[in-house]
Amino acid sequence: MNAYEAQVMRDQAQAAGLRDAVIINTCAVTNEAVRQSRQAIRKARRQRPDSTIVVTGCAAQLEPARFAGMKEVDRVLGNQEKLHGNNFITPLDGKILVEDIMSVHQLASHLVPGFDGRARAFVQIQQGCDHRCTFCIIPFARGPSRSVPVANIVAQIKILEANGYDEVVLTGVDITAYGADLPEQPSLGYLLRRILVTVPTLPRLRLSSLDAVEIDCGLERLLLDEPRIMPHLHLSLQAGDDLILKRMARRHSRAQAVEFCQRLRASRPEMVFGADLIVGFPTETETQFQKTLALVDDCALTYLHVFPYSERI
């Protein structure tokens, strides 16, 4: 998703006439990510002393005054504002242009012709999240779940395929929630079928992070039967102990995660899985941690994004 947003910001800012500027798209998923964002801002100012420094992204959305207080920063834009080129150049009363992201209920859709320096293309199909996992601050930085209409997504993929991209990655914060906010409530499975039918010359379609418990039978059938959908899924698992999962307010059990991976691999042996995991969640014992460790083998996970717990909410 960041790759898609970065390209949109680049295109929008250039079209608006922004020159000699550094745009820093911050992360807020952990306190360490916020620290690194501030470090990147200071480094950018040292390396580009005469450039305009624009700070945006999740950390800026959540704490705009904190970033505006940095002497290195010229402008702070929220996650909604960063996708509109004029916001990079319009004079402000102060440094900050950040609106209430929780009041945003429509997703601005941008057609991107390509991605600088990348062999695969990224298409944002959804933004925001309606869940409230106890470790996660992202819903408050990204706003409620909102989806891009099917026709817009298909049009974007047709452009990318015509421009030579053989692989498209569908991205979002919670893509298994796709379509629930749209008038006809199309499912993620429906969207995939429309893409495969209407762009028959696209060789490969890939999905970003999924919540396995929200994958319905129709979507699962596509994952198993459609060779153009890549047999590589990244799962938001977080932990391997049921009590910790409950305290995280996750929606799946350990058994459901294991059974899902085993079932899909049994039907499509080339299927591989990666996962997000959190260690050191409050109250987690050594025994509970060992269950998470065992989950790596039980689900035959091939790669991991592992985060130490960071208090964010």
* pLDDT tens-digit map of 58-73: 999 999 999 999 999 9
Same fold yes or no, 2-99 and 231-313: no
Checking if the pLDDT of 116 tops 90, the result is no
Mean pLDDT throughout 241-259?
A: 98
- The three-state secondary structure class of 59 is helix
Joined together, the tokens standing for residue 300 give 């035959």
Indicate whether 108 pLDDT > 70: no
Which pLDDT score, from 0 to 100, does residue 132 have?
96
- Fold that domain 2-99 belongs to in CATH: Rossmann fold (3.40.50)
Query: Which CATH class for the 231-313 domain?
Result: alpha beta
Give the pLDDT of residue 180: 96
Query: Identity (one letter) of the amino acid at 271?
Result: M
Q: Domain segments of the chain: what residues?
A: 2-99, 101-230, 231-313
Q: Where are the beta strands (DSSP E) in the chain?
A: 21-26, 52-57, 75-77, 96-97, 121-124, 126-127, 146-147, 167-171, 204-207, 232-238, 272-279, 301-308
- Looking at residues 23-36, what average pLDDT do you find? 96
Q: What is the mean pLDDT of residues 129-138?
A: 97
Tell me the average pLDDT across 267-286.
98
Kindly tell me if the per-residue pLDDT of 306 is higher than 70. yes
Residue 296's pLDDT band (cuts 50, 70, 90):
very high
Residue 110 has a pLDDT of 81
Q: Mean pLDDT in the chain?
A: 96
Average pLDDT, integer, range 95-103? 96
Question: Could you tell me which residues are beta bridge partners of residue 121?
Answer: 168
Task: Scan for tokens 């890549």, then name that residue.
Answer: 230
CATH class of residue range 101-230? alpha beta
**32-44 average pLDDT score:** 98
- Give residues with Cβ within 8 angstroms of 5, minimum separation 6: 25, 82, 83, 124
